[in-house]
Structure 1
């Protein structure tokens, strides 16, 4: 399936008809699938949340929902069909009714529509559809899996809003054994119950549905609406997103991203061992932990990166070096899950090196599943052979710096 990448998030180049055809195929599949519906606000969330970034880019289909993304795609040379969650939800329920597929709807208990209102509306609009409505709080962990699995739904519609609905799917899909396809639908269910009104076609055509919602939300009975908070969300989705996209698309491609490679070592039986990690996107791609410096100096950035990627602070900072290696991004990273040259927007990376001595136990190291799938200690002499082929030249440079530091320290001591 062809994709376009916007601020690091892949968007599927599909029409609504193609989405429905794919959903039909998913229902016949033995595997489980999930669909996301990114909009500008969701993409800005993923920019600051690595796990959420991973969840979005692991989706089987990522549907553009938001006029700002359509403009961004157009500025990237692609005319992508915008598919609103409200339209898609209605079409999915219609498809489920026709195919006799059971549906479970996870409804936010604090949302506009109650489970009773959802049941009444769906029964009237989709007679004969077999469905179950489950009320949940955002971030709720206790779920009656037995009840849901006994009902045996094939489609799951999750109406918890971003990022909770995507996290819910990621954490619970495997536990819902009968579900073949899950999708986060946000507040789309409120249009079916009539608790929310669609913007007139004129507003939708101009991409001003967001402006319509600003004024309409104040008129919802029985709900206290904080206009300022709503305006802040609109401001981020329209103005902040537009500025970030402009910088990402037209400015960053001329620059190298500042990056730090982290060489964590320990001494065992008079031999030095160095930690390497296996990337989640590509099996057998071993490398030193690394990440962006985020405007910190090399020592601060390296220490932060180790804490974030290994979830441990059991190490002592030893040395840091700036700008030891520079490389351009290839088109695809890993197995092609995302476009590497579009991930951060930069043309490539300028890497420094952070050296630290591990002072804990192996059980103190815990990987983030969205970053890496394995880690191991390797002998210094084997390091360049153990890392992925494209990493060997830079690793040799880093290793020489490490040996230089070790020799200097041993001479001093």
Structure 2
């Protein structure tokens, strides 16, 4: 039995909008989301009354003692539909592994099945006031009693462990990560809505940054922000009548369930074995292989994810990503290189989850990237989260 996705290339992205990415926006997240959604609908030459589907992943990505309030710190699909005055036939929120790729799957399945004709997919990110990971915990219970009191708490400790494993196993130097972060910031500095617009980073600045959780420094993590992006999706048939070149979804894949371990205990072997399975599912579902992808956009919420994704996707040999990148392998200014961070990613835009990756695929494949437009890009790949705890989507500008 073939694993090729039966709805492959039957659904397309036909419009988008993006807010400015700010440390703290002056307006509420809900206000921004409603404005951006209206702009995305207009970009697709539609009206709100025509939109009959809304999807999102409304996860509030912070830990600690912060209030979760719809329309303020997160924006659900229900909230957005209500405040646009819509009367949709399909409303859903993704709760599984891979927030952005999961949202894409909801939208694609709704359109392919006939549950909706036009779907708005949005993601709204909020940066709460105060310390981002403020924690009011006075005692550690359950499994956390074996980790939190020893200082193993929060995502920086989580990623520091496999990052150290990689350095030791493959003889990599922490200085090699300079090429990843500088590349992300170079590209983000070219994008007007980016938090880092016109603010590239030098290698010297990266190496001088404070260490947070060795070997993770300040610039190895994306900066928390307020920002919203929205996309409009419809069937490939309807897309032909709309003004912009459609970008089709060839297939998607989510990671398999992770192994049960202590809280935040992500080992390098788990990441790579789970990621290899994610990639296998992706190639089978989409009907393409790594050699056919000319616009890979790997996730970089933490800089080591870039090494991990490149290797599990087969874009460079295992254990060689640090050398591959240092040798210019992902330099977006080199036409012969793989532009794996040409959209700036999370490190170059701010903590927008997998939105920069999805957006870069749409802009480049639809020919709407302006001065950044790459020639002859036909197949894009957008990743989200860790290879073993996320997902990926393959996009193409020509139905296969």
Structure with greater Cα Rg: 1
Kindly indicate which of the two structures has a greater share of residues assigned to strand: 1
So what's the TM-score if we normalise by structure 2? Answer: 0.24
Kindly indicate which of the two structures has a greater share of residues assigned to helix: 1
